[in-house]
Amino acid sequence: MNGIRASILDLSPIYQGVDPHTALQQSVLLAQTAESLGYTRYWVSEHHDMPQFASSTPEVLLAHIGAKTSHIRIGSGAVLLPNYRPYKVGEAFALLATLYPGRIDLGIGRAPGGSAHASLAISGNFLAQVGMMGELVGDLSAILWNEYTVEGQQVIARPIPPVPAQLWMLGTNRKSAELAAQNGTGYVFGHFMSDQDGDEIISFYKEHFQSSRHQERPQVIVTVSVICTDSEEEAAQLKKSREAKNSTRKSFIGSPNQIKHELQALARTHQADELMIITDIPDYQKRLDSYERLAKAVFSLEASM
């Protein structure tokens, strides 16, 4: 699709009647399928005390996914940084990057990922930590490059990987774009969960981007909710059923030909280097089928061995 890369965001959904173990096995299968179809990267989310999602700790799931795949980039979408001390996050991803050199992405965000009480259970005063997000990101950036000090003493997140995890900032507003630009990280705009003007936010990020050790130029991923159906008739039925359920998520639903034109337009207007696809359909096989149609008919990806 005109050189646009394609990736996958997996929330590890627990569909009705399925236990969490099965849901996580489906995440492994999705990652393996993504690799075989030629997707660039596969990311997992962080959610807390939410019965519909199985991924509460991305770094643990990624350790397992890495062992079940061979070359696709894997990462977090996202580690919710206000919940943690940056040094601990740095250690976890240094270990992952040592296990799977050149494959690890560290996507970070500042959402709570759950209820107010879940946030209290994890980190205490979450809002105070959000207010320190700029400092947290700066510390994490220094930790990834072994430049972090405490009271003038260098503290290194070990083991030291051959290639540090690549840092990405996720968000839906100008504040997240500003943090990404100031720290010289990649930026991931959550189109599927935002009512903001993505064009303006991404333009702001690119205009204010400062080169860093992370990367020399701005890089933009746009996360999009997509269901690619076998036919236009199937798409129409699915849209109708979603309208009946008052689904509010912004989604592209259509046949490969319909989706291709819509995603091309979105990538063009949002200046995207890559589209990260989340497919929310309560049927694991249909989810895999949708990703396969996207890979072959929309993005023209090359299957890998």
Predicted pLDDT of residue 248:
58
Nearest residue to 77 via CA among 290, 298, 278: 278
**Backbone CA torsion sign across 100, 104, 106, 112:** negative
Classified as helix, coil or strand, 104 is: strand
Whether the per-residue pLDDT at 247 is higher than 80: the answer is no
In the predicted model, what is the mean pLDDT of residues 46-75?
A: 98
Q: pLDDT-derived band of residue 245, with 50, 70 and 90 as boundaries?
A: confident
**Segment (H or E) for 63:** helix 58-68
Q: pLDDT-derived band of residue 36, with 50, 70 and 90 as boundaries?
A: very high
Cβ contacts of 196 within 8 Å, gap of 6 or more: 172, 173
Whether the per-residue pLDDT at 110 is higher than 90: the answer is yes
As a three-state string, the secondary structure of 175-226 is HHHHHHHHHCCEEEEEHHHCCCCHHHHHHHHHHHCCCCCCCCCCCEEEEEEE
Q: pLDDT-derived band of residue 165, with 50, 70 and 90 as boundaries?
A: very high
Nearest residue to 69 via CA among 16, 144, 10: 10
Whether the per-residue pLDDT at 159 is higher than 90: the answer is yes
Classified as helix, coil or strand, 296 is: helix
Average pLDDT of the residues of the chain: 95
Q: Which residue has the higher pLDDT, 2 or 190?
A: 190
Q: Give the dihedral of Cα atoms 269, 238, 21, 40; nearest 10 deg.
A: -30
Q: Within 10 Å of residue 158's Cβ, how many Cβ atoms?
A: 12
Q: Are 209 and 218 in contact (CB under 8 A)?
A: yes
Predicted pLDDT of residue 221:
98
Nearest residue to 82 via CA among 55, 62, 108: 108
Domains of the chain: 5-298 (3.20.20.30)
Cβ contacts of 56 within 8 Å, gap of 6 or more: 46, 47, 48
Q: Within 10 Å of residue 146's Cβ, how many Cβ atoms?
A: 15
Q: pLDDT-derived band of residue 215, with 50, 70 and 90 as boundaries?
A: very high
Alpha carbons within 13 A on the beta-carbon side of 118: 13
Predicted pLDDT of residue 197:
84
> Rounded to an integer, what distance in angstroms lies between the CA atom of residue 145 and that of residue 148?
8
- Name the phi and psi angles at 36, rounded to 5: -70, -30
Residue carrying the six token digits 């799931």:
61
> Rounded to an integer, what distance in angstroms lies between the CA atom of residue 137 and that of residue 202?
19
Give DSSP secondary structure letters for 13-38.
B--TT--HHHHHHHHHHHHHHHHHHT
> Rounded to an integer, what distance in angstroms lies between the CA atom of residue 188 and that of residue 120?
27
Classified as helix, coil or strand, 172 is: coil
